[in-house]
Amino acid sequence: MPLLSVVDLHTHFRTPEGELRAVDGVSLTVDKGESVGLVGESGCGKSTLGKAVLRLVQPTSGSVGFDGEEVSRLPADALGPFRRRAQMIFQDPFSSLNPRHTIERILTAPLYVHGIGDRAERKRRVPRMIEQGGLPLSSLSRYPHEFSGGQRQRIGIARALILGPELVVCDEPVSALDLSIQAQILNLLVEMKREYGLSYLFISHDLSVIRYFANRVLVMYLGRIVESAAGADLWARPLHPYTRALIQAIPDPARRRQAAPIGGDIASPLDIPKGCRFHPRCPIATSICTKVDPALVRHGDGHEAACHHAGQLTRPPEA
């Protein structure tokens, strides 16, 4: 049984301009000890999905099963045990730490909120965690502004892990960091995974980071998963034209001065195109793509794609 099992999840928002379908029918699983990468561009709904899984936003419909228990409709006062086992690491290490609290207070808060340990036990756990995060003990009496971006992200990680969670949703954990710091944080996340047997849902817009970090990759476009495969399989054999475009858009010395793989902008989630939601930007779209919304179907072992022309590199002739 997977640790996390999401079925047909929808998260819609009411806005003055109409209904915004941020997450529009997503199913996924994360097995115990697995690291699942979720990749997509801004506006595709990946952050909302991460938050909906953790009940930081309320899903509109669908189910979220965690270790066999349905959590999407638990009343707020019954969420405690779930929250202890499922935590989040945020993108921005500047705005996600309270500037007026010391690091000790920031790390003690989750223990306090969840009523874990007595004062003495908390005093033992906090220093151990900060050292595992790779920061000196003297950090505890300091404030967030005294740390660099990379160090703050270490604090964010320590705060998420101090409760001993099983699932951690990482929302763009290295996007705000310089390249020389990204590797430090990715290595720390891998080390923590080994140490605690964590499962990750790892959200990023950066395919190369996902490529390093994930066992399985989900590609999201306008509120839907459009392709899902084991990492190696996805790079070797991308079936969806959007996945192919994402891979080809990574700047690469081997593609010296090559033209951009696709044109156009991602459509608005307020006005999702009819048929396949990718068809206005798709280089191989045909008339069926403007009419019929393709379902995610299997194309071999553990590889799924939602495309009428999956795996084809050029536009097929119209019937």
- Closer residue to another protein (CB): 121 or 191: 191
User: In b/e form, how buried is each residue of 92-106, taking b as 16+ CB within 10 angstroms?
Assistant: ebeebbeeeebbbeb
- The amino acid sitting at 36 is V
Q: Is 288 a binder of another protein (CB under 8 A)?
A: no
Instruction: Centre a 10 Å sphere on the Cβ of residue 79 and count the other Cβ atoms it contains.
Output: 14
Nearest approach in angstroms of CB 92 to another protein is 14
Distance CA 12, CA 131 (A): 41
Q: Residue 157 class from Cβ within 10 Å (0-12 exposed, 13-18 middle, 19+ buried)?
A: buried
- Element (DSSP H or E) covering residue 62: strand 61-66
* Planar angle of CA 3, 6, 8, nearest 5 degrees: 165
According to the binding rule CB under 8 A, does residue 20 interact with another protein?
A: no
Closest CB to another protein among residues 82, 147 = 147
CB nearer another protein, residue 71 or residue 167:
167
* Residue 35 lies near another protein (rule: CB under 8 A): yes
In the complex, what is the shortest distance from the CB of residue 266 to another protein, in angstroms, rounded to a whole number?
7
Q: Residue 75 Cβ, how far from another protein at the closest point, in Å?
A: 38
Question: Does 179 participate in binding another protein (rule CB under 8 A)?
Answer: yes
Member of 57, 190, 272, 284 binding another protein (CB under 8 A): 190
- The least CB distance from residue 101 to another protein, in Å, is 22
Residue from 120, 253, 301, 314 binding another protein (CB under 8 A): 253
Q: How far is the CB of 256 from another protein (least distance, A)?
A: 6
Q: What is the dihedral of CA 64, 65, 69, 75, to 10 degrees?
A: -10
- Residue 185 · residue 151 · CB < 8 Å: no
Angle, alpha carbons 13-16-22 (nearest 5°): 25
CB 242 to another protein: min, Å: 8
Q: 3-class DSSP state for residue 14?
A: strand
Residues 198-217 that bind another protein (CB under 8 A): 205-209, 211-213, 215
**Residue in 74, 109, 249, 272 binding another protein, rule: CB under 8 A:** 249
In angstroms, what is the minimal distance from the CB of 138 to another protein? 16
d(CA 107, CA 162): 7
266 lies in the binding site for another protein (CB under 8 A) = yes
Q: Which residues contribute to the site for another protein (CB under 8 A)? A: 35, 41-42, 148, 150-151, 178-184, 186-187, 190-191, 193, 205-209, 211-213, 215, 231-232, 235, 245-246, 248-263, 265-266
